[in-house]
Amino acid sequence: MSAVIENHHDDHDHGPAKGITRWLYTTNHKDIGTLYLWFSFAMFLIGGAMAMIIRAELFQPGMQIVEPEFYNQMITLHGLIMIFGGVMPAFVGLANWLVPMMIGAPDMALPRMNNLSFWILPFAFFILLSSLFMEGGAPNFGWTFYAPLSTTYAPPSVTFFIFSVHIMGASSIMGAINVVVTIMNMRAPGVTLMKMPLFVWSWLITAYLLIAVMPVLAGAVTMMLMDIHFGTSFFNAAGGGDPVLFQHIFWFFGHPEVYIMILPAFGIVSHIIETFSRKQLFGYSSMVWAMLSIAILSFVVWAHHMFTVGLPLAAEIFFMWATMLIAVPTGVKVFNWVATMFRGSLTFETPMLFAVAFVVLFTIGGLSGLMLAIVPADFQYHDTYFVVAHFHYVLVPGAIFSIMAAVYYWIPKWSGNMYDERLGKLHFWLSFIGVNVTFFPQHFIGLAGMPRRYPDYALIFADWNMVSSIGAFLFGFSQLLFLFIVIKTVMGGKKATDQVWEGAKGLEWTVASPAPYHTFSTPPKVD
């Protein structure tokens, strides 16, 4: 017992431990945030490499590079890795770095559990990726793993997939509980709920969504496991179950999940636009209420992913209108960002470029979402490349641009060095052009009827597919530039001031750059 007591008195004074154990045993929110961010970057590159394989195969009609079976494994793993390994851990990493500093807390509320949430992930993705080398290959049923493709017709590796999803879910739930508890319990005196920075608000809501829906996903994969190996019939009509039941449970998780991947982005973009407009955010409380409304609505719109499965008419009408209702709070946010920029003293540093691109391109993705929400129209669009274009517009120039914006915006605070502005701008323009060249044509080929998830296609789709692939290669390889910029910034560069950005507000800018290993050991006073 004495060792425990003696250790703690000088806790807040010393810096990080030396060597690899710093990262293995750490309880420091900044270390863990860094781990999350690097892990997510690695997954982003692996998932991206899979996307390159997909686009290379689709460069021309006909089968050139991979077998259809392998193609299916690629689209499945690309989706799973980008969502659960790329976007979600990146946002958790940002939350780890920023939430305690933004609310004036010394660390996350439960630091050891924080470490556990992170270290589960490398193991979970090791299992998922190792399925590529198993007999029968990796999961090949798409990231939505609909039954019976994922049950009756699944390769044996599906069992490993199920358990890796289980521990990923455990990681997410623990991470989310940590964030909620930190925000509820660790705010410095004076940081009232309606004075919290919007990124903190967005994460409070996101964490709530995570705790609510990750267990539902666990339930879904458990039912799959039982159906496959132990003779239950949840998703088999012959026994009185229903494959559509899988889709209901999955999308009850899946729709809140897409907001889990966009709400933190809303928070980030609000900070960046406010800073580089050198104005107060147009409407803080309306932003908070809009996020809350979106989160609540996310629980009652799931069946809009399933309009073509044969739902009763009343259900289709309900889910159509409920979905369209989401456009209202989303519109509130978009107009808010625009109004914040209106007559501001704008400058366009790299984070601002990404943030403005986010607003424009996310809106495009939102509008195609509205088109998909219309039941009769969705009968036409369902499972075409139009859907692929839609969700990539909200996820790539949406979620991922916001993550990149956040990295450029806060990396001076993390590393103490400014990134190279010229390279940053180059990275932005390459990404911006690449993303649009990749995904905009997919609207056309989707409307023309090209189905998703096929390695081959009719000749009429050839031209736009080639354009799309060229854009994808441009976007993909530009991300190596991003990797280079990040490494260069961490290694050295122009020293950043504590304030970093002229118009930036918030507690994180009051501490030194780079942020000391322990910040706010005693709570700051905020009025």
Partner 1 sequence: MSGGSYYVPDQSRFPIFMAVSLFLLVMGASSTINNLDDPNSNSVYILYSGFACLFLTMFFWFRQVIKEHLAGLDSNQLKQSYVYGMAWFIFSEVMFFAAFFGALFYVRTLAVPWLAGEGSKGAAITAIELWPAFESSWPVMTTPDQGNEYDLADKSMAWPGWSKALLWLPLWNTIVLLSSSWTVHLAHLGLKKGNRKKFNVYLGVTVLLALIFVGLQALEYYEAYAHYGLKLNSGIYGSTFFMLTGFHGFHVMMGGFMLAIMLARSVFAGHFEQHDHFGFEAASWYWHFVDVVWLMLFIFVYIL
Footprint (CB under 8 A) of partner 1, residues 159-198? 159-160, 162-164, 166-167, 170, 173, 176-178, 180-182, 184-186
The one catalytic residue in 171, 206, 438, 469 is 171
Which of 145, 385 has the CB closer to partner 1?
145
Is 378 in the active site? no
Q: CB–CB of 38/122 below 8 Å?
A: no
Considering only residues 48 to 107 of the shown chain, the ones binding partner 1 according to CB under 8 A are 105-107
Minimum distance of partner 1 from residue 242's CB (angstroms): 4
- Crossing angle (nearest 10°) for helices 198-229 and 88-103: 140
DSSP-derived 3-state class of residue 384? strand
* Residue 35 interacting with partner 1 (CB under 8 A): no
Could you give the CA distance from residue 46 to residue 73 in angstroms, rounded to a whole number? 14
DSSP-derived 3-state class of residue 451? strand
Bond before 148 cis per omega within 30 degrees: yes
Answer for which of 12, 382, 452, 488 binds partner 1 (CB under 8 A) is: 12
Is 521 in the active site? no
Which tokens is 348 given? 């366009």
Could you give the CA distance from residue 89 to residue 176 in angstroms, rounded to a whole number? 11
Minimum distance of partner 1 from residue 298's CB (angstroms): 14
Which of 312, 487 has the CB closer to partner 1?
312
Answer for which of 142, 148, 215, 451 binds partner 1 (CB under 8 A) is: 215
Answer for which of 83, 249, 258, 261 binds partner 1 (CB under 8 A) is: 249
Q: CB–CB of 177/251 below 8 Å?
A: no
Which of 127, 470 has the CB closer to partner 1?
127
Could you give the CA distance from residue 146 to residue 213 in angstroms, rounded to a whole number? 17
The one catalytic residue in 304, 390, 427, 443 is 304
Is 305 in the active site? yes
> If 0-12 CB within 10 Å is exposed, 13-18 middle and 19+ buried, where does residue 210 land?
buried
Is 172 in the active site? yes
Answer for which of 90, 311, 375, 389 binds partner 1 (CB under 8 A) is: 311
Could you give the CA distance from residue 54 to residue 129 in angstroms, rounded to a whole number? 17
Which tokens is 119 given? 């270290």
> Which of these, 232, 293, 245, lies nearest to 266 by C-alpha position?
293
Answer for which of 192, 194, 230, 285 binds partner 1 (CB under 8 A) is: 230
Which of 238, 491 has the CB closer to partner 1?
238
The one catalytic residue in 203, 259, 393, 408 is 259
Neighbours of 268 (CB within 10 A): 30
Is 333 in the active site? yes
Answer for which of 42, 46, 65, 216 binds partner 1 (CB under 8 A) is: 216
* Residue 236 interacting with partner 1 (CB under 8 A): yes
Q: CB–CB of 44/475 below 8 Å?
A: no
Q: CB–CB of 447/49 below 8 Å?
A: no
Which of 256, 434 has the CB closer to partner 1?
256
Stretch that binds partner 1, among 51-59, 247-255, 268-276, 502-510 (CB under 8 A): 247-255
Is 222 in the active site? no
* Residue 448 interacting with partner 1 (CB under 8 A): no
Binding mask 489-518 for partner 1 (x = CB under 8 A): -----------------------------x
Which of 236, 489 has the CB closer to partner 1?
236
- Sign of the four-CA dihedral 508, 510, 515, 517: negative
Could you give the CA distance from residue 117 to residue 279 in angstroms, rounded to a whole number? 37
Minimum distance of partner 1 from residue 215's CB (angstroms): 4
Q: CB–CB of 520/101 below 8 Å?
A: yes
Is 69 in the active site? no
